[in-house]
Amino acid sequence: MTVKMIKFMKIKLLMAFLSLIFILSCVEEFKIEIKNDQDYSLVIEGRITNKPGPYIVKLSTSTSLAFPEFVPLTEAIVQIADNEGNSETLTEVEPGIYKTSESGIRGIIGRSYKIMIQTKTGNQYESEFEELLAPVGIESVTAKSETQFAQNADTDYEEGFQFYVSTETSVNPSNFYYWELEETYEIRSEWEIVLIYNGHQYGNDYGDIRNFRSPSSRDTLFYCWNTQMRDKKFTNNTTHFSTPKINNSPLSFVSFTDEKLKYKYSLLVNQLTISEDTYTYLNALFDQDASQEGLYSNQPYHIQGNVISKTKPEESVLGYFIVAGMQNGKRLTVVLPPQTKKWKSPCNVDALFGEETPEGAFPANSYSFSFSDIDRGYYRRPEDWPIYITSIPVPNTERDSIIVMPLQSCLDCTKRSGVTNKPDYWDQ
């Protein structure tokens, strides 16, 4: 064996050894160690603001941070009190959900508030008094077309609307803000309802018996709207600003190809003026949530809120009772720019007759529908009713149209988390 060959083999062995070390080091990153050495009892979520009530407090118990499980805490005595001797005992309206009365305690700017809880086992919990700060208003909510890193694996970048908020100038040098976002968007069915089957038989003007009836209006379930809270929350402060005002603080980003932007999208921004302690807690909570999204995420850890156990001072309590100043929110409605690539619905003619046929229609290979299917008893189960049928043009054939039963969500917009009541502000 030559010297050159020996050197070559040594190099290969060294490379193999280094590769093995690299692989082992990569494997180490995936090691997960869960420690459940702490039992977490009370979890609290509640608030009081200067807005009229009723105010809601949610109580539950959780046995693990790594694998949380919502268990309502029932039959507790929950009170909200201010620093002037006023208080109210909340009513449990659902398991673990406690509510003040319509004419009950009201948050007043300048007063301080705390929560007191006693469980049916006698354990007592309490927060410190916290002042309800004067709210600072929102100057503007804006949206800009931007390109950002994509949130999915289909593409590296995506275009969308980035929303921003600017505050009014505060009289105080240091201000801490918390923003909650409520979004509303329009949902439309792909086709109108032509026939309805709900297990009954109907006679027509000719004396014939039919298993179907025509809808009173074909677009009854064609237009819907969905209103929901955005999961992600946002915070910012003015402690390092020469002027106590925030300009264009970034909020949420919505991709142009998101279904929510297909027709029209409205974002309501609510701004809460909070204490520095509340701000610190919320930031720590948001940072922990963000750390769980990565491949090498950190293990969850306990974040102390403002509620402590009076019975067992060593007991950890999760959650926070927020005391905040709040003004009316600002709403911004946007539509997609012309020629923008939009969300593609799974309800389309190509899907009906091509290889992209979604599951859930009968029969799955063609979407065609036979009235004799009813006679064969295919739809005898009341839980399947009502069944909506439509008629669509047939491409590349001599037939004008064909009766089909697509996915019911293609005809009934309420099956896509929508409601048929149009919001009052929608056409403003």
Give 336-366 pLDDT, tens digit per residue. Answer: 888 777 777 777 665 555 444 444 443 333 4
| Alpha carbons 128 and 114: distance in angstroms, whole number | 6
SS3 at position 186: strand
What is the structure's pLDDT at 10?
Answer: 44
First-to-last C-alpha distance (Å) of the chain: 87
> Do the Cβ atoms of 99 and 54 come closer than 8 Å?
yes
Domain boundaries, the chain: 42-131
Q: What is the DSSP string of 263-290?
A: S-EEEEEEEEEE-HHHHHHHHHHHHHHH
Q: How many residues does the chain have?
A: 428
E-only strand ranges, 189-329: 195-197, 202-203, 209-210, 223-229, 234-237, 249-255, 265-274, 307-309, 318-326
What is the structure's pLDDT at 412?
Answer: 92
The pTM of the whole model exceeds 0.85? no
CA dihedral 419, 420, 421, 423 (to 10 degrees): 70
Site of tokens 């082992």: 24
Site of tokens 């209103």: 227
SS3 at position 29: helix
Q: What is the CA radius of gyration of the chain?
A: 29
Sites in the chain below the pLDDT cut of 50: 1-14, 16-38, 206-207, 209, 294-299, 354-368
SS3 at position 24: helix
What is the structure's pLDDT at 357?
Answer: 43
Please name the residues in contact with 198: beta carbons below 8 A apart, sequence gap of 6 or more: 213, 385, 386, 387
Q: Which two tokens stand for residue 266?
A: 């409205």
SS3 at position 38: coil
> Do the Cβ atoms of 312 and 360 come closer than 8 Å?
no
> Do the Cβ atoms of 169 and 244 come closer than 8 Å?
yes
What is the structure's pLDDT at 297?
Answer: 43
52-91 as b/e, with b when 16 or more CB fall inside 10 Å? Answer: ebbbebbbbbbeebeeeeeeebeebebbbbbeeeeebebe
What is the structure's pLDDT at 80?
Answer: 98
Please name the residues in contact with 399: beta carbons below 8 A apart, sequence gap of 6 or more: none
271-310 as b/e, with b when 16 or more CB fall inside 10 Å? Answer: bbbbbeebbebbbebeebeeeeeeeeeeebeebebbbbbe
| CATH number among 1.10.3470, 2.40.50, 3.40.1130, 2.60.40, domain 42-131 | 2.60.40
Separation of CA 331 from chain center = 18
> Do the Cβ atoms of 346 and 283 come closer than 8 Å?
no
Please write the tens of the pLDDT for every residue from 265-286.
999 999 999 999 999 999 998 8
Run of H or E residues at 17:
helix 3-29
